[in-house]
A and B are shown apart, each in its own frame.
Chain A
C-alpha cells in the first residue's frame, strides 16, 4: 500500500470527522444543558437530509439553500417537540426521559420509512466546490464543503456556548437549575433555546449528509450512535472534546474500512470496541471531568 493511499484515506476520514463533529456538537450542547439525552437527534439529521434532497430534486433548490432551510425547519420542529413533549418529561425521572426520546426516535424513523420507503437515494447535484488537490491526493469538492460547513457549525456551537449571553445562561442553568431560577433566569426558556439550537445544527448537518452519504431513513440512527460514541469519548457536554472524539472515531473507522479486507462491514464495530475500552478505563470519557457515578 502506498503513502498516497494512506494519505487519501486519512484526509477523507477527516472530512467525515467534520460531519460527525457537527452532529455531535449539536447533541452535546443540548445534552450538556438539559441533561436530556436526545436519541431523536439523529432523526432530526435524517429529516434535514431528506428536506435538502427533496428541495433539490423537486425544485432544483441549491443544496446551500437547502441546508439553511433544513436548519430553520428543524429548529422550529425542535421547539414544537420541546413544548409538546419534552417539557413534560423533564419533570419525570431520568429512566423515563431516556425511554421517551428513544420512543420519539423510533416514531420519526418509521414515519420516514412509511413516507419515503427505506431505500437509499443519492442526491444528483453538481459538486458545491471545486475539488482540492493536496499533493498526490484529490479531495472531492463536496467533501471540502462538508469539512468547511461542519467545522463552521462546530465553531458556532462553541461560540454560542462560551461567548454569548445565552451561552452563559445555559451554563448557569445546567450547573444549578434552581440557583439559576433564583437569579432570574428563565430556565425553561434556556432549555428550549438550547434544544432549538441543537435541532438547527442537526438540520444543517442533515444537508451535509445529503452531499456525501446515502439519503435514507436509517442514516440518522447510524449517525446518532456515532455521535453518542463521540460525546462519550469527548466527555458529556464538552464541545472541544467532541471534535477530538469525532477525529478519533472517523480515523479508526476510515482506516479499518480501507485497509482491512472486508473492513467496510466492521469499521463500525471496531470504533465501538474502542469506545467500550475508553469507557472502561475512564467512565466519564477521555476529556470529561471525573464525576462520581
Chain B
C-alpha cells in the first residue's frame, strides 16, 4: 500500500474512533438515561445508514421496517437453534436473501411504484407474522435472548460496534469503486447501462446490503429487552424514521445518518416536552419538509459547503504566504 493509501486508511480509522467515542464515553459513564438515549440513537443511525445505501441507487424505500423486523425475528428464532454468533449471521443472511428477491421483482418498477411496492411488502411481512403463530408467535410476539446479559452499558458498547461496522460498509459504497456507478444509476439508469455499468447487479447488491444492515439494526433492537411484538418492530415509524434521520443529517454520506440520528433525537425530546408522548413525530414531518425545501443536502452537506467556501477564500492568502517565505 502506498503512502496516500495509508493516509486515507488512518483518516478513516480516526473517523470511526471519533464516531464511536461519544457512545463509548456514555457507556463508561453508566448514566442510565443517557445510555438508553445513546442506544436509541445508535439503532436509528444503523437503520438510516441502511436506507441511505439503497437510496444512493435512486431506490426510495418505504419498507425498511420489514428488514428491521425480520432482523429482530430472525436473530430471535435462529439463536436458540444455532447459537448467538451463527444465529445472528443466519438472521442477517436471511434478510439479505429476502432483499435480493424483493430487489429482483421490483427492479423494473419506476420510482413511485417501487416505493409503493416496498411499503406493501412491509405490510405483507407483518401479516405473515400474524398468520403464522406456530412459527413466529403471531401477535403475542416472541422472546429473543437478551443482549449482553441485559446490562445496558454493555449493550451500548456492542451496538456501537455494530454502528461502526455499518459505517464501514457505507464507506465501501461511497468509495471510488461504487460511488460513481451508484449515482449514475440514480440520475440516469439508461446512460449508466449504456456506459457499461452493471445496473441490475448493482441495484440488487445495494438492496441486499441495505437489507442486511437494516436487519442488524433490528437484531440489536430486539435484543434490548428480550421481547418483540409485531406491532412494535413493523410499525410505520420504522419505515419513516430512516428517511427523517437521513434527510436531516445529509443523504449520500456516512456521517449524515449519525448526525441526523442525534439531531432528530434532540428534536424529538423537545417535541415530547411540548406535546407529550403522542404526536411528537410531528418533528419528523417538519424536519423532512424544511430540509427538502431549504437545505436538501442536510446538516452535513451544509457544513461541508461552509468549509469549502472558507477554504476557497483562504487559499489565495496561503499561496501568497508561501511565496513570501
Is residue B284 contacting chain A, with contact meaning CB distance below 8 A?
Answer: yes
What is the bound-complex CA distance between A106 and B282, given in angstroms? 7
A196-225 residues with Cβ-Cβ distance < 8 A to B are: 221, 225
Given contacts A85-B289, A106-B285, contact A114 B108 (CB under 8 A): no
Cβ-neighbour of A95 out of B55, B127, B130, B293 (below 8 A):
B55
Find chain A residues with CB under 8 A from B293 CB: 85, 88-89, 100
Residues of B within 8 A of A99 (CB): 60, 243, 247, 288, 292
Q: Is the pair A266, B292 in contact by a Cβ cutoff of 8 Å?
A: no
Query: What is the CA–CA distance of A221 and B243 in the complex, to the nearest angstrom?
Result: 17
* Interchain CA distance A225-B123 in the complex, whole Å: 10
B295 shortest CB reach to chain A, Å: 12
B111 and A276 contact, CB distance less than 8 A? no
A272 interfacial contact with B, CB 8 Å: yes
Q: Which residues of the partner chain B approach A118 to less than 8 Å between Cβ atoms?
A: 278
Q: CA–CA, A98 to B112, complex, Å? A: 8
Contact-size category for A: 35 or more
Known A-B contacts A113-B279, A269-B126; the reply to A279 vs B109 at CB < 8 A is yes
Given A102-B243, A107-B286, A107-B289, verify A266-B281 contact (CB < 8 Å): no
- Among B81-89, B113-121, B215-223, the one that faces the other chain is B113-121
Residues of chain A with a CB closer than 8 A to B247's CB? 99
Q: How far is the CB of A7 from chain B (nearest CB, A)?
A: 27
Query: Does any Cβ of A come within 8 Å of B236's Cβ?
Result: yes
A232 on interface, CB distance cutoff 8 Å: yes
Which residues in chain A, 178-197, are within 8 Å of chain B measured between CB atoms? Answer: none
Q: If the complex has contacts A98-B60, A100-B292, A276-B117, are A268 and B123 also in contact, measured as CB distance less than 8 A? A: yes
Number of interface residues of B (CB under 8 A): 48
- A69 CA to B202 CA in the complex, in Å? 51
Task: Please judge, given known A-B contacts A37-B112, A100-B292, A232-B116, whether A95 and B278 are in contact too, CB under 8 Å.
Answer: no
Nearest CB of chain B from residue A59's CB, rounded to whole Å: 26
Using A102-B243, A118-B278 as known contacts, say yes or no to A293 and B110 having CB atoms under 8 A apart.
yes
* Set of chain B residues within 8 Å of A279, measured between Cβ atoms: 105-106, 109, 113, 116-117
Interchain CB contact under 8 A, A89 and B292: yes
10 sample A-B contacts, Cβ–Cβ < 8 Å, listed by A number: A89-B292, A99-B60, A100-B289, A103-B286, A106-B288, A114-B275, A117-B278, A279-B105, A283-B109, A283-B113
Chain B interfacial positions (CB closer than 8 Å to A): 55, 58, 60, 62, 105-106, 108-113, 115-117, 119-121, 123-124, 126-128, 130-131, 139, 186, 189, 236, 240, 243-244, 247, 275, 278-282, 284-289, 292-293, 296
